[in-house]
Amino acid sequence: MFNRLRNRLLLMNMIIISLIMLAAFTTIYAITYRNVQNDIHREIRRMADVGFLMGGPKGPPRPEGDFPINTHERSAVFVLKTDLEWNITEANSPFDLGEDIYATAAEKASANPVEFGQFTMDGTRWAYSVSPTPSGYSIVYMDVTAQQTILTTLTYTFSLVAIIMLGVIFLASRYFAGRSIAPVKEAFEKQKRFIADASHELKTPLAVINTNADVLLANGEDTIHAQAKWLNHIKSETERMKTLTNDLLYLTQMDDAREHMIQAPFDLSEAVESVILTMEAIIYEKELTFDYDIEPNLMFTGSNEQMKQVVMILLDNAIKYSNPNGSIQVALKRHLGHIQLSVTNTGPGIPAEHLDKIFDRFYRADTSRARKNGGYGLGLAIARSIIGQHRGRIFAKSVPNEKTTFYVQLN
């Protein structure tokens, strides 16, 4: 699918560029051709008006034999006068080109007696102009081989340049087309993985609910109190599904509302401390050592509630993945021109290959442990979405079997 998309983009790009090049080269050639033809017509008309060489002496004879007209002769202009039957009555030229040349030239003009025409004779390109006279016709001829060579060379040059440019543009377009669809491909793959993971996460609670419902139906004569165990299982899984759907809805809303977030200045230090106070009891209940260092009066512009949610997600994550009798440290301070929040917990740590992936939706380095802790792998994805909306940065560092630290940097 993506190869077809890339090839489509490549084809469209090549067609557009080819049309632009064709239009540009055609325009340049047309202008050059028109200028050359205008120069030829102007020169022939001038010669016809002044009666070029009429009555002047004949030039030296052309060498005998089948010799091509040399460069000097190719600049020649000669005039023929004919009667009404196109029989030559007078020929004037700086060189005596020979009766056969004059006869052929007169024949070409008689075949197409126009004001301006062209023909090729013995490898030389001639332009001519026929003017009627009382006794017949006066025909001015001018060698335009050099001008024709210019136009031919221009055509070959344009063709060569076009081939080279199209080759280079093809390679460049192929490269950039591949790069341009890379984000689309990545988004598509993430969407596929997201749908598959969401389906997988919903499958388990639905299976539990279905199994417990079957047990209830099989014991329909028992009292509700007797069936409380199965009902509690159903309720527990329902709550898990509710949490999952709420988190998914929140992520979707975050993606759609990036441009509409209401921002206001607030005391970030106070917001972090308020979350710590609500989570402190849970931390001590887990028999974890807790320490925090909050620099006071750190003002930040953004969403107070969303930043509180980030702190709560990171603290909840630290509690879940701390080892028994471990410790948690929270620090908030100004660091290198920005505000930095860090949440550290002792524990098994996160393998280096997972550090860049733990913020993806549904991603869990330890699936079994995450399931045991009741997590879906959406918390860190929500935290990253919030921090991204605030144009900040969130990342993690970990020492295996020792500790993990999550950092949030805000400008």
Q: What is the CATH number of the domain that holds 115?
A: 3.40.1840
CATH number at residue 342: 3.30.565.10
Establish if 286 belongs to a structural domain.
Answer: yes
Q: What is the rounded end-to-end Cα distance, in angstroms, of the chain?
A: 40
Residue 231 lies in a domain: no
Of 143, 162, 180, the residue that ends a domain is 143
State pLDDT tens for residues 47-76: 877 655 444 444 445 445 444 444 334 457
Structural domain harbouring 277: 262-410
The answer as to whether 126 is a domain residue is: yes
- CB-CB contact of 94 with 59 (8 Å): yes
- The residue out of 112, 143, 174 marking a domain boundary is 143
pLDDT of residue 395: 95
**Same structural domain for residues 269 and 405?**
yes
- Would you say 34 and 147 are in contact if contact means Cβ atoms under 8 Å apart? no
- To 5 degrees, how large is the angle CA 377–CA 382–CA 387? 135
Measuring CA to CA, how many Å separate 327 from each of 283, 287, 323, 330?
Answer: 9, 9, 8, 10
Q: Angle at which helices 145-218 and 2-50 pack, to 10 degrees? A: 160
Number of domains composing the chain: 2
Q: What is the band of 260 on the pLDDT scale with cuts at 50, 70, 90?
A: low
Q: Please tell me the distance from the alpha carbon of residue 323 to that of residue 401, in angstroms, as a whole number.
A: 10
Q: How far is CA 69 from CA 44, 62, 63, 78, in A?
A: 20, 9, 10, 14
**171 in any annotated domain:** no
State which of 125, 143, 161 marks the end of a domain.
Answer: 143
Q: Is 313 helix (H, G, I), strand (E, B) or coil?
A: helix
Instruction: Pick the range with the lowest mean pLDDT from 9-23, 100-114, 179-193, 342-356.
Output: 179-193
Residue-wise pLDDT tens digits, 331-383: 999 988 899 999 999 999 899 888 888 988 777 666 555 555 555 678 898 89
**Per-position DSSP letters for 35-64, written without gaps between them:** HHHHHHHHHHHHHHHHTTTTTPPP-PBPPS
Residue 259: CB atoms within 10 A of its CB come to 6
Q: Residue 93: which pLDDT band, with cuts at 50, 70 and 90?
A: confident
Q: 273 and 134, same structural domain?
A: no
